[in-house]
Amino acid sequence: MKLIIQIPCLNEELTLPETLKDLPKSLNGIDNIEILVINDGSTDRTVEVAKEHGVHHVLSLTNNKGLAKAFIYGINHALHLGADIIVNTDADNQYFGGDISKLIEPILEKRADIVIGDRMVETIGHFSPIKILLQKLGSWTVRQLSGTTVPDATSGFRAYSKEAALQMNVISDFTYTIETIISAGKKNIAIEHTPV
């Protein structure tokens, strides 16, 4: 079982080392873990820093395509590299790499094909009450449109089985988080969430 952890990056040379340091080297049920950095037109040393820290694969886009395009290019490249499970995380170290085991567990146990990390936004100290309200309202709307129970629709910390990844279509240039949940719900792909 091959896990590829993909990290879309735009000028993340300062935060990428900390993110990489937290990623697991081994996990139960996984034979091989590889890291894929998607360089979305960075003008700093993101690529060099990734290579210096032992990243297995770097996919460099010719210019800044936006997070949604970087995400889907990464998904397609991870599939090309033979991924059985793909975890997407952010390069700014907002998610703890140690939680990846919680993300992939429902996939390994065949309970889900997509697992979203729930940040429990009401507990995030730097989120204003208005931002928390908007996050909750947005996630509620996504739940209604998708028929899912995902409480944190904008979380970028998520895992996809190969089967789910093969069905992902992203039209937006800006965000993939909401669109992929709605699409998965419409396609009846099993989605779970877990606190992170």
Percent of the chain with pLDDT over 70: 100
The domain limits of the chain are: 2-195
18-40 mean pLDDT: 98
Residue type present at position 77: H
Pick the closest to residue 161 from 126, 109, 94 (CA basis).
109
Q: Is 77 helix (H, G, I), strand (E, B) or coil?
A: helix
End-to-end CA separation in angstroms for the chain: 23
Read off the pLDDT of residues 92-139 as tens digits, 9 standing for 90 and up: 988 999 999 999 999 999 999 999 999 887 777 778 888 888 888 888
| H/E element, 18 | helix 16-22
Instruction: Please write the tens of the pLDDT for every residue from 57-89.
Output: 999 999 999 999 999 999 999 999 999 999 999
Confidence tier at 2 by pLDDT (50, 70, 90)? very high
CATH topology of domain 2-195: Spore Coat Polysaccharide Biosynthesis Protein SpsA; Chain A (3.90.550)
pLDDT given for residue 52 in this prediction: 98
What value does the mean pLDDT of the chain take?
Answer: 94
Is pLDDT above 90 for 6?
A: yes
pLDDT of residue 172: 79
Token duo for residue 2: 């091959």
Convert the pLDDT of each residue in 40-50 to its tens digit.
Answer: 999 999 999 99
- pLDDT at 136 (0 to 100): 85
pTM of the entire predicted model: 0.93
At residue 140, the pLDDT reads 92
Q: pLDDT at position 138, please?
A: 85
